[in-house]
Amino acid sequence: MVAQAPVRKPGMNEPVDLQRRPPFKESSGNPLFTFIREHQVLILGFIVAGLIVMKGLMPDLGTGPARTAGKASRDFTLTDLDGQKVSLASFRGNSVVILDFWATWCPPCRMTMPVLQRLKDQLGSRGLVVLSIDQRENPATVRSFIQQNNYTMRILMDTDAGVAGAWGVNGLPTLLVIDKEGVVRHQEMGYESGMEARLFELVSGLL
C-alpha cells in the first residue's frame, strides 16, 4: 500500500512511525514491565511461532509478480456467489473487464472495494464489468461481507487460488484491466489514494 497524500494520523495504509511514540517508562513497580523483562525470550518465541503459523495459513499466490500487461488474457471459468459459472472469455468483444484478486481479511482489499463499486456505478452502463475474485474463503463469509457493504460487483470464488496462481498473482489486492479484445492493458497491486482517478481515466479511454 502506498499513501499518496500526507495525513495527520497514521491510517491503515500508512506505517506508524515508532520514533514519534512516547518512550516506554521503565518502572520497577510496573508488573507488566517486570513480566516482559523476565520472560522476554519466551515471549519472542511465541511471536516467532505465531508468525510461522500465520505464514502457513496464508494462500500461496504465486512465486513472482504478474507481468501480463500487453499480453492476451488467460481465460478461466469460476463460480460466483449465486452458483453460476462465469467465463472471462464471455466478455470479449463487448466489455472492458477489471479483475480484482482480493479477500475479506485483507485491509487494502477492503479499501479498494469502494473504489471498484464507484467505477462500476459510473461506467457499468458503458460496458465496464468488475469481477472480484475472492481467494480461498468460505462463500458464507464473503456473502456476508458483500451484503453488509451493499456491493454489487460480480463476486467469483477462487477456492484453491488456482486462477490467481495461473495469473502470477503474489499479493492482494491485484487489479488488472482487460480491454474488449482480451488484452491486459494495465495491472497494479495494493491500494493508493490516487488509484480511482487513474483507473477511471484508463477505463473510460477503452470503452
CATH assignment at residue 191: 3.40.30.10
Quick one: angle between helices 195-206 and 107-123, nearest 10?
40
Say whether pTM exceeds 0.75: no
Residue 25: which domain range? 18-57
Q: What is the pLDDT of residues 132-187, one digit of tens each?
A: 999 999 999 999 999 999 999 999 999 999 999 999 999 999 999 999 999 999 99
pLDDT at 71: 74
Q: Are residues 150 and 199 in the same domain?
A: yes
**Within a domain: 66:** no
> Mean pLDDT per 10-residue run, the chain (207 residues)?
42 39 49 68 64 46 52 91 97 97 96 98 98 97 98 97 94 96 95 95 97
Whether 49 maps to a domain, the answer reads yes
What total number of domains does the chain contain? 2
CA-to-CA dists, residue 84 to 81, 127, 151, 192, angstroms = 7, 20, 18, 32
What's the pLDDT at 72?
Answer: 79
Inside any domain, residue 1:
no
DSSP calls for 68-116: -TTSBPPP-EEEETTS-EEEGGGGTTT-EEEEEEE-TT-HHHHHHHHHH
Cα Rg of the chain, angstroms: 21
Residues 97 and 192 in one domain: yes
pLDDT at 73: 82
Q: Are residues 85 and 160 located together in one domain of the fold?
A: yes
Final residue belonging to a domain, choices 57, 85, 108: 57
